[in-house]
Structure formats: C-alpha cells, structure tokens
Amino acid sequence: MLERNEISLLKLEDLSAQERRARLLLFIEECLLSMLKVPGPLPRRKPLNEIGVDSYMAVRLRHALEGATGHRLPVSLIFNYPTLEALAEHLTVRWATVRPAILGARSSEIFARLKDMSEDDARTYLAAVRS
C-alpha cells in the first residue's frame, strides 16, 4: 500500500502546510481506494462510513498513517475525523504541533542526519531519539 504514494517524515518535513495537506489527502485517498477496490476519486467531504469504510478498514488506515508519518494516532481517529478532508486537515495540524514537541530544539540536527538514512534506519533512529 505505501509503495504507491509513500510519504515519510522527511518528505513531509520539506513541504509547506498546504503541500503537506495535499500529500496526506492523496495518500489517504490512495489507501482507501486500495482497500475499497473502487475507482477514484473519492468524495472528500462525504463521511468515510458512507463510502464503505468499515471499522476494520479504519484500523488498517490508521496503521498505514502511523507507519507513514511516524506518529502514534488514536484508535478513534477515523471516527473523530470522518471525512477525507477532515482527516487530512487534522494530520496537517498535528504534524505542525507534535513534531516539534517530540523532537524539540534538535529537530534540524535530527532531520539533517535522517536525509542519508533508509526509511527503516530512520524509523529506528527516531524511536531512539524519542525515548
């Protein structure tokens, strides 16, 4: 699923908030299209449960988003932000507020190191930095 439109900490870091939101929106939509096995595009303001997203798919989507962004997300994420637009907006705001809190003043140093790492090495490194 992630191979089609992979997003990562580094790729989101270099984007403006508007570009980050668009990338997240596209990623969410591609994940859901893959799960629902329907042609796109999906309606961005229609509740996800009305387009066929069930609780199992909601869990799968949350896991995909956690893996792609490096953020732990609440179990109720899809129910609290029930449309593509609401979910992308929430994740965009969360990225802007949570990332500095997790990484603190060392964020520039940390992201400079991450640029030369593989995705797996970067996740391992970030887990160590967070603890």
pLDDT value of position 40: 82
pLDDT value of position 67: 77
**Tokens 């997203």, residue located:** 53
pLDDT value of position 3: 39
Of the candidates 28, 63, 67, which has an alpha carbon nearest to the alpha carbon of residue 48? 28
**Tokens standing for 51?**
């387009």
Four-residue CA torsion sign, 101, 104, 108, 114: negative
Map out the domains of the chain with their CATH numbers.
9-104 (1.10.1200.10)
The one-digit pLDDT tens for each residue of the chain (131 residues) are 333 444 554 466 667 888 888 888 888 898 899 899 998 899 999 999 999 999 999 999 998 888 777 778 889 999 999 999 999 998 888 776 555 444 454 555 666 666 676 767 766 776 676 55
Quote the pTM value.
Answer: 0.67
Please give the DSSP secondary-structure letter assigned to residue 106: G
**Whole-angstrom Cα distance, residue 34 to residue 100?**
32
pLDDT value of position 1: 36
User: How big, in percent rounded to 5, are the helix, strand and coil portions of the chain?
Assistant: 70, 0, 30
pLDDT value of position 9: 47
pLDDT value of position 101: 46
pLDDT value of position 2: 35
